Structure 1
């Protein structure tokens, strides 16, 4: 980490807003999208991760560290989502750079606890829209503290965005209600959809655990294949940020037992779709995922 220290020392001397606007650095695409919706043209936003990037495995490059060192605020997910960046965030905080975990907006007692790691929680909080509403207000509050002259602007944008999220909730609920409860079994590459499942009454099973850092073994694949057959699951799903070979191996295991299961499509879990596309926004991603899930499982 010697390079990290050198970059921080050099850049902290130049930690000034560009064009009079606060410099904001974000980690995941979901957070980048949210901060842009609230900050608009009053801030400069740089997202570290792009479409298809797995935050569990992301490592900061020299360029990324330079961006972080020149930030006025760093917004990240927290809850060990960006596990390989923890040391970087700690060093930034010691250099008096404001590092904010958006998960701090939430009451930890309401989160899904990790069965394997006591005291840790499922970090995929964006799949609970109510959580994202709380986080929207939290981000607006933090931007207002950093840039009080534009407080009303941030508050107004947050209010408008929350209204859109409330509409999204109604639309999603109506779509999911067209799928009978016995068909609400969601099998994906890793365990990213538990908050979604809890909110919309899906049984969710991931081939890998909460993190993609450890790969599923043969026994995991065979066990899940048996589950799919027993439950008569019609379709399983690839994730955009996880290699599809894991789900293809699962499909092959089901086929080898004399049963058929289709790959119902690609879901966006840990990253949004390409910029400029419907799936490149949080709201569009949620709509796309739900439509894909419901259409494949009907």
Structure 2
């Protein structure tokens, strides 16, 4: 009897590591903060997510560090954006994908919904997170990738996805409400680079970037001169800086307009290629877009709530 009890205890002890392993969170590495947030929202307590690119980081120029490589090779699943956003990391992901599960979550979007890249005939504008409608497609790709990696949690992922999509739909509706309240002549968004094309298409705004879709393109004097003329001739009074792009070109734009006798101010700082600080509302996808919508609407003439649609923005604009 004692021997049987001892053997049963040994068997239970041997089984414990396997049980613990089965219940351990899925280790997910995501390149951008937006993808990392989607993985956390969809995965819930089934995942442990590490984002590679933090606040203020430009994904167009980012190169993987040694720490990044270690994290990705040890991950159960690696999620990257694709669409040439992480332009310096494409070859690395091609190689990594031969050894483990690597998914480019934005590549699943129907290409007819995408804007053509301004420099490459076979590439597209990658900034799809600027459109809540398009970001729904990416969230569904994240759900699919997580379900493939852990099929036994499919129901959890499905329920979390539907809850997150409902939040995105509410965000989209808030954008419709706020941005249509801006006087029609003011619906022009002047930014450091062309990251807001999908935003403009969704909400009916003209978007003028100093640089092109990639921050690697140089802003020439001719382009700055053209935009100065536009600001002066159309009497536009606000431009927007970006958290992940130097404001040097924007300062040149403001100074150029001032030299022409036209006063232009900074309407606010927008989140373009990266979210806000971790642990803040702006450090989530919903908070990032809530901030942008609220700041743009308020700066261009709408009566926007200082704390955004949920009253959660950390500071008024």
TM-score (norm 2): 0.86
Residue 138 of structure 1 corresponds to 141
Structure 2 equivalent of residue 229 of structure 1? 232
2:25 to 21, 24, 32: 21
The aligned residue for residue 63 of structure 1 is 67
1:90 aligns with 2:133: no
Aligned to 1:255: 258
Quote the residue 2:37 is aligned against.
33
1:176-209 per-residue CA deviation (whole Å, 9 max, x = no partner) reads 1211221100000000000000010000010000
Equivalent of residue 45 in structure 1, options 49, 57, 60 = 49
Match of 2:308 in 1: none
Aligned to 2:204: 201
Per-residue CA deviations over 1:226-258 (Å, capped at 9, x if unaligned) read 111112111000000001112111111111111
Further displaced range: 100-109 or 26-35: 100-109
Which among 55, 72, 77 is matched to residue 73 of structure 1? 77
CA contact (8 A) 1:79 1:120 kept: yes
Aligned counterpart in structure 2 of residue 217 of structure 1, from 220, 238, 253: 220
Quick one: distance in 2 between partners of 1:236 and 1:19?
50
> Are 1:181 and 1:201, in contact at CA under 8 Å, matched by a contact in 2?
no
The alpha-carbon deviation at position 18 of structure 1 amounts to 9.4
Question: What residue number does 2:267 align with?
Answer: 264
State the match for 2:150 in structure 1. 147
Partner of 1:6 in structure 2?
none
Any stretches of 5+ residues in structure 1 without a counterpart? 1-16
Gaps of 5+ in 2: 1-20, 302-317
Distance in 1, Cα, partners of 2:215 & 2:78? 24
Cα deviation for residue 115 of structure 1 reads 3.4
Q: Deviations over 1:56-76 (max 9, x none)?
A: 011111101111111221111
Partner residue of 1:286 out of 286, 289, 300: 289
- Give the alignment partner of residue 126 of structure 1, picking from 124, 129, 133: 129
Q: Tell me, yes or no, if the aligned pair for 1:234 and 1:261 is still in contact at 8 Å.
A: yes
1:25–1:74: 8 Å Cα contact kept in structure 2? yes
Query: For residues 290 and 151 of structure 2, what CA distance do their matches in structure 1 show?
Result: 34
- Pick which of 157-166 and 273-282 moved more: 273-282
* SS in structure 2 of the partner of residue 84 of structure 1: coil
Q: Cα RMSD between the aligned structures?
A: 1.3
Which residue of structure 1 aligns with residue 119 of structure 2? 116
Deviation of 1:19 after TM superposition, in Å, equals 6.5
Alpha-carbon shift at residue 104 of structure 1 (Å): 2.2
| Counterpart secondary structure, 2:88 | helix
Q: How many matched pairs?
A: 281
Does the 8 Å contact 2:175/2:203 carry over to 1? no
